[in-house]
Structure 1
């Protein structure tokens, strides 16, 4: 989840954020590595994680260069120890139906002398425009700054774009935990395959974190790693940030009752209905759930080619102007396919991590209801795990406490992960 702050100040904040995060497609094309069978078509599911191509997209040669870039992006640069090299990886994975496809992601490596690197997986917050994904950032921006932070502290940082973002084909299945998990796991495998080209190797340990949409994705990836989802990698710690871990009982009620920022609520609700209708057939016609004139245009806005500014301009400022009575009722009382999909999305905290876990959240988050973190903490406790909640206070980024929590938590988590050595 990555949107805007309240409506009056929201437009200015949104324009400022877009200037930071909405960048052109990659223009650097150096040191491109392409595998022997690197066609754009994907192979069988058994080839999941196979590297298709790797393109070096940027170099910040010194720690001073990294510090300046992070500072310009609004992130804490005090843990920077090394320069970094950043690569866009394209790799084979599967779509929500288990069919072969490809996806992309960002790999950032420290310019250190260490041969075997510990890995941090960072799963990003909501993006609808494919060029807002981590691997499409020409310079350090909101989506790529966490990976730059971890790499400059000495880790190998892996940031999947998810399906349908970056240069991955098709449409993005927003908040689809199973495909977020497969895309994240396969990005780790692709990174492991590529890193030897740089003269280094990835070790076994993976420290997992993610923001907003990426928080539940991080929890699901961590669960899969602990369960032995890959023979090489093993889970070392988990640190999700400001997640919507309980969409049915925490996030949806807050979106619908006006507890959260109005414009953000419109964008998230629209994205949920459009993306999940593609996966789960929630409605036959947009007019069933969306009011005119938005019923005619809303689905096209979430095709990956429309910028955040276009999304903002093409949607109303309130849910009452967006949803039909049936749309409200569907979300207020989920049944059928919607209820089944919510059960899958809301299951990411219902397990027993055998590694350290910390949950990070801001006070009075205007986009992710605080009850989400409370419910995640309670679910972990019910499975015998005490996961401390780290209250980040009220951090601000572009007028948003939600976005600010990503900045503040990244600064805290890189220190925590480093201390686990």
Structure 2
């Protein structure tokens, strides 16, 4: 790819992220499609594919803000963007108990372009509504923004919804559950590979992995799973997990001692609810939460995660028994659940770049530093840490987009 055009596209997209979705939400999402799924009976993972978006090159250029965007104190045109197609894929996978289920995800690829293309698995961040599921391709979904952008750079993009969303929406999402984040992402990749063959989309055997926040955790989990049990199917070219909770024990202890409001308290509490159920702890919520929060959470309206307002100060929200059990390493059952869902203590073979804002108060930077230190100590030679100095969780996204694009481009 020509570096000047590449830089224009990347920086222009980062500009859009800085200014939000104002320019995106006003544009037409799709050319009308019949929404009739193609059913497949001769594939191992792929069940069906439904065309949800067919975007011309002209409409795609308009989506990124019209003909011009500010860039380096001058006006630069975005040129050469291909059109893309977006499908909802339904595929076979397993739930946390090993039962056969179907799940879904978004599959995006550039059209009217020649040559074999790299495959990229993009794991989305935390969502709490169906509108955020990649297969919905709604304006609040990562697929609508990030997925579209990556496909416009020439990638064939696989974006799992995860369990609990899309085709599997009737189930609860197992939040920050390493095993199912990895397996749902891997099986979506397998379905994407099968669908590419059906559509005569030529792949070039390169595979890139990326994701932010919960998607960062999912990316390290997927990377580890592929190298440990699916290396005969896929060879990872490079991965860029970003702002993920990789070292969950250290992260939990850091949160627990904070005597101030924490922006991430609902997410951390969601993790507690998930592990309490998935690991068969089945403790009363009064073990974890002080009243009235335990009762309020137990009686909250249905939905993903914590759907009510709760105390943001950990020392006020969580019981002394729970906090002391973590800090003193005596709550072995919950600590084992945290350990089982950590993704920092292993040795990646493929190049892996950890990206994280140093001022992140949502998913603390210690997660990436801990992962870098441990992976390096384990003998990994292709792991690098890219700190985004002075920025928080959400403010770091534009720099993440730029770094991912630049880093992956060095392998293409």
TM-score (norm 2): 0.81
Deviation track 1:50-78 (CA, whole Å, cap 9, x = no partner) reads: 1222222223211x533443559x9x996
Mapped partners of 1:236, 1:287: distance in 2? 46
Partner residue, 1:281: 280
Q: Structure 2 matches for 1:223-302, cutoff 5 A?
A: 223-229=224-230, 231-249=232-250, 251-258=251-258, 262-299=261-298
Q: Are the aligned partners of 1:132 and 1:166 in contact in 2 as well (CA < 8 Å)?
A: no
Partner residue, 1:389: 385
Partner residue, 1:110: 110
Q: Structure 2 matches for 1:49-68, cutoff 5 A?
A: 50-62=45-57, 64-68=58-62
Partner residue, 1:360: 355
Q: Structure 2 matches for 1:119-268, cutoff 5 A?
A: 119-139=119-139, 141-142=141-142, 144-168=144-168, 169-229=170-230, 231-249=232-250, 251-258=251-258, 262-268=261-267
Q: 2:320 aligns with which of 320, 325, 347?
A: 325
Paired residues in the alignment total 378
Q: Give 3-state SS (helix, strand or coil) of 1:226's partner.
A: helix
Structure number, greater radius of gyration: 2
Per-residue deviation, 1:318: 2.8
Give yes or no for the alignment of 1:344 onto 2:345. no
Larger RCO (CA within 8 A; separation ≥ 6): 1
Mapped partners of 1:377, 1:388: distance in 2? 7
Partner residue, 1:5: none
Give yes or no for the alignment of 1:416 onto 2:410. no
Mapped partners of 1:105, 1:79: distance in 2? 29
Give yes or no for the alignment of 1:370 onto 2:365. yes
Q: Give 3-state SS (helix, strand or coil) of 1:104's partner.
A: strand
Evaluate the alpha carbon distance shift between residue 381 and residue 297 of structure 1 in structure 2; reply closer, same or farther with a 3 A threshold: same
- RMSD, matched Cα: 3.3
Q: Give 3-state SS (helix, strand or coil) of 1:89's partner.
A: strand
Partner residue, 1:69: 63
Contiguous gaps of at least 5 residues in structure 2: 1-19, 72-76
Contiguous gaps of at least 5 residues in structure 1: 1-15, 39-46, 396-400
Give yes or no for the alignment of 1:85 onto 2:81. no
TM-score (norm 1): 0.79
Q: Give 3-state SS (helix, strand or coil) of 2:114's partner.
A: coil
Mapped partners of 1:333, 1:68: distance in 2? 56
Per-residue deviation, 1:320: 4.0
Deviation track 1:357-399 (CA, whole Å, cap 9, x = no partner) reads: 211111211211111111111111112224221122345xxxx
